[in-house]
A = this chain, B = another copy of it.
Amino acid sequence: MMLKTPNEIDIVRAKSSKITEVDFENLSFGNIFTDHMLVCDFKNGKWEKPIIKPYEPFLIDPSAKVFHYGQAIFEGMKAYKDNQDDVWLFRPDENFHRFNKSASRMAMPEVPEDIFIGGLKTIVDLERDWVKKGLGNTLYLRPFMIAIGSGVIAQPSTQYRFMIILSPARSYYQGEVKVIIAEHYSRAANGGIGAAKAAGNYSAQFYPQKLAQEKGFQQIIWTDDATHTKLEEAGTMNVFFRINDTIITAPVSERILDGVTRKSLIALAKREGINIEERDVLVNEIVKAAKDGSLKEIFGAGTAAVVSPIVGFQYQEHYYELPKLENSLAMHLKEEITKIQYKLADDTFGWTVKI
């Protein structure tokens, strides 16, 4: 069955839905996909018509540039269902603009708004049964673009594929997160691609991550690669530190991703009059604050985990434990952002977009 949507996306519906086979109470992140995917190819200098069709593997040439030169970017966002069964996106314009910033940095074509935002809305609408009600239930949305042009010469592709795939997700208790501060490895270079959601940034972290896990740490706090004195990100999240009642986080830069959760938490904190500073965060200062007891909290922030509290950190073979607080600002900010996402609080910022 081929339907036309108002925004010129062809839809070929799956013959049957897999939804009844899914155990929504026991989802492991990013493993199960909904019935459909969006596909839109870029060829001869222009974007073709997007199509939504059954989720399935596709054919690709062994010499496709994505395999050899990693020309690939992605976004991560979520859809939420409120108590009235309406489905909402959270700041999709931010992901759209960041996606195209990543595209430019990777010498890939920008994706037009009607394909990215229009495509998201259309496919999420089609899959709205996959968005479950209840705090913590979400549909994780993964727009991405890969270079499908062939040829083993290190030059930008002339053909690309933009896709959106969707995976139901449930927030889960991650266990205690202990981190280790990077003293040797790093995730981004000055003048590199750290500020882009480029595929290559992530696999580069796998090996250091494995070493950290072998030592008993769930995450790495990345430092600047030149001096390892500045604290920049936690795993694939932005990172915040609370010293007494001030929250500090590194400013976004060429090395640091401009996180949507990060900027939303900053706005929420400011609205509440919480003292929040965007400035370089030095390893020394955090170690000193841990020693004198003024370091109250560290937490990661990102779409997948929302806010991820950290119980302690390792630096130079010494482990610093953080206090267990009753009034955690991390938990408070998480609650505030979650209430907006699920339409349980007034969205005075205009962040939510109805499907």
The answer to whether the Cβ of A165 comes within 8 Å of any Cβ in the partner chain is yes
Tell me if B107 and A202 are in contact (CB < 8 A): no
Judged by a CB distance under 8 angstroms, whether A1 is at the interface is no
Contacts of A61-99 to chain B: CB distance below 8 A: 61-63, 65-72, 74, 76
Does any Cβ of B come within 8 Å of A267's Cβ? no
Q: Is the CB of B105 within 8 A of A207?
A: yes
Asked whether, in the complex, the Cβ of A144 is within 8 Å of the Cβ of B225, the reply is no
In the bound complex, do residue B189 and residue A69 qualify as a contact, i.e. CB atoms below 8 Å apart?
Answer: no
Interchain CB contact under 8 A, B186 and A191: yes
Residues of B near A61 (CB, < 8 A) are 57
A55, CB-defined interface residue at 8 Å? yes
Selected contact of A206 from candidates B144, B156, B209, B236, CB within 8 Å: B156
Taking a contact as CB atoms under 8 Å apart, the answer to whether B204 and A67 are in contact is: no
Most buried by B among A153, A188, A227: A153
Q: 23 A-B Cβ contacts within 8 A?
A: A30-B63, A31-B150, A55-B62, A66-B67, A69-B203, A70-B199, A70-B203, A70-B204, A72-B203, A106-B204, A142-B152, A147-B203, A152-B167, A154-B206, A188-B189, A189-B192, A189-B225, A191-B208, A193-B204, A198-B200, A200-B204, A226-B226, A226-B227
